[in-house]
Structure 1
Amino acid sequence: MEIHLPSLGFSLRKWMDNDVNGVIMILGGRRPSSPLMGDLASLGWDLWAVDRGLGYCRRSGIIPRVAIGDMDSASPSDLKWASDLGIAMDLHSRDKDLTDFQLALKLLAGSYHPHSPILVTGCFGGRFDHLMSSVMTFAHSDLNAMGMVDHREAIFVLRGDERLEMLFHRGAPKAISLLPVTRSRGVTTQGLKWELSGAELEPSFPFSVSNEARSDRIHVGLEKGILLVYVTRG
């Protein structure tokens, strides 16, 4: 599957079992840039707004298929906009055990093909505990977690025997880090300053950080485990 994000200046290819329609979740962290929101909408995937993400959709002129959460960060005007447009609303109390993102993933799991790829935006720029919870939940989910992106940072998820290719059209990123969520075996890279070949990375000692691109095309391969590929433009 290939994804092109012109506003970020890169394209993404991930080798997966099949090519089915995906889902984009807009969370309530740092607001994604308008060009990125346009790129994501142009993919033609279903859009889900999570809490404050509803307002991000409204400001970008994008209509989500679903809005979910306790909506404690959504404005009354955002909620009225969604109601007037007939957007499906899945509302929850603020007094709950799961985060809004976890509720969204749970609902999605019962509604879509298990191989439907999922991209998340609006997840960065806030509290560390929120980000950590979202990343770990996403990486360990039974869903086809593809990645989390905004105009500054991105995290892509590799699980089991998967490969990722990133093509940068407007210069290399500031740093690329490989962060093992579980013991990750057979990690191989191509296009980086410090290459790995069949390496084993441990979550207790994640040393493969702040690598540098030596090509406009970066490959990362994994044989076993769960590995995050983090990219930042600084």
Structure 2
Amino acid sequence: MKKVVFVVSGGELGDPAFLREQAATVAPAAVICADSGARHMRAAGIVPELIIGDMDSLDFASQKYYEAKGCRIIRHPRRKDETDTELALHEAFAMAPTEVWIWGALGHRVDHTLANISLLVQGKEKGIDVKLIDEWCELFLIDRRRVLEGEAGQTVSLFPYGGPAVGVTLTGFEFPLTKAVMEIGSPYGVSNRMTAGKGIIELDSGRLLAVRYFRPGVFPGEVKG
């Protein structure tokens, strides 16, 4: 049985209504906020079970607000090895989920975005599906056969992560591949598109970082009627 935990970081989220809709559909076992990710939850009208971090970007009034709502807060010192999002992810792992969805992990801070992408590796090491998600897209690692359920026209970009991806086969995409080798520094896997409601990604070894946009042909910063 699927058990999903939401982790909410303080980066870009998009429309909080999308998170609220997904929470209503998925019914996460818990919502854990990394520091200022709690602001997103207030906008979405959701009270998290836990807020964790050094609290350098969540004001005292907000902390008291959530404590009054019964939310537990774990405070860490500012000088630490882990990011607040990593601390929240570790709390999520302790709940033995099958999936962790990390919201608010992308945005204008490229260094923070890269740090959050690297956290996907911890999920693979633990056998837990972890993805970064916002209103626009989702990012996840693939190290075995993966079937994407979606719709024709969705943009899916694939990049080798941590080394070459060997034996890559793509079925149901505008640009198919058969037993290809994808090397770091040769990003020809960008901006592929699903041709139907299902796309199949297979590889023999290595890892692929996948970026899938939910709305065909629509990307952040663009408005299309």
Structure 1 residue matching 2:192: 3-state secondary structure: coil
The Cα of 1:192 is off from its aligned counterpart by: 1.5
Match of 1:131 in 2: 113
Q: Provide the C-alpha distance between the structure 2 equivalents of 1:102 and 1:146, rounded to a whole number of angstroms.
A: 12
Listed as ranges, the matches of 1:125-164 within 5 Å are: 125-141=107-123, 142-143=125-126, 144-159=128-143, 161-164=144-147
In the alignment, which residue of structure 2 is the partner of 1:181?
161
Shift of 1:222: 3.2
Give the percent of matched residue pairs that are identical in Structure 1 and Structure 2: 25
Q: Which residue of 2 aligns with 1:57?
A: 41
> Aligned to 1:198, what secondary structure does the other structure show?
strand
Aligned partner of residue 105 in structure 2, secondary structure: coil
Deviations 1:75-95 (A, max 9, x none): 333211211012121111222
TM normalised by structure 2 equals 0.84
Residue 118, structure 1, aligned to residue 118, structure 2: no
Q: Which residue of 2 aligns with 1:32?
A: 14
Asked if 1:44 corresponds to 2:27, the answer is yes
Matching residue's letter, 1:147: K
Query: Deviation digits for residues 81-140 of structure 1, max 9, x if unmatched?
Result: 21101212111122222111122223333x222x62111111111211111111012234
Question: 2:168, 2:40 → 1: CA distance?
Answer: 37
Query: What residue number does 1:229 align with?
Result: 210
State whether structure 2 residue 198 is matched by structure 1 residue 217.
yes
Q: Kindly tell me: are residues 192 and 98 of structure 1, through their superposed partners in 2, closer, same or farther at Cα, counting changes over 3 Å? A: same
Pair 1:23 & 2:5 matched:
yes
Instruction: Check whether the contact 1:26–1:48 (CA below 8 A) recurs between aligned residues.
Output: yes
Q: CA RMSD in A?
A: 2.0
The 3-state SS of whatever aligns with 1:123 is: coil
Alignment correspondent of 1:101 = 85
Task: Single out whichever of 52-61 and 75-84 deviates more from structure 2.
Answer: 75-84
Unaligned runs of 5+ residues in structure 2 are 220-225
Inter-partner Cα distance in structure 1 for 2:196 and 2:140: 19
Q: Classify 1:40/1:78 alpha carbon distance in 2 versus 1 (closer, same or farther; 3 Å).
A: farther
* Among candidates 195, 198, 202, match of residue 183 of structure 2: 202
Are the equivalent residues in 2 in contact too, given 1:158–1:228 (CA < 8 A)? yes
Deviations 1:20-47 (A, max 9, x none): 3121111100133122111231211121
Contact 1:68 1:90 in 2 (8 A): yes
Summarize the Cα distance change of 1:70–1:82 in structure 2 as closer, same or farther, 3 Å threshold: same
TM-superposed CA distance for 1:204, in Å, is 4.2
Contact 1:20 1:116 in 2 (8 A): yes
Q: What is aligned with 2:222? A: none
Within 2, Cα distance between the matches of 1:20 and 1:213? 26
Does the 8 Å CA contact 2:120/2:130 hold for their aligned counterparts? Answer: no
Q: Which amino acid aligns with 2:20?
A: G
Could you list the runs of 4 or more consecutive aligned residues of structure 1 that deviate by over 6 angstroms after TM superposition?
none
The size of the alignment, in residue pairs, is 210
> Given residue 165 of structure 1, which amino acid in structure 2 is its aligned partner?
L
CA distance in 1: counterparts of 2:206 and 2:95, whole angstroms: 24
Indicate the larger mover: 25-34 or 212-221.
212-221
| Pairwise CA distance, 1:157 | 2.0
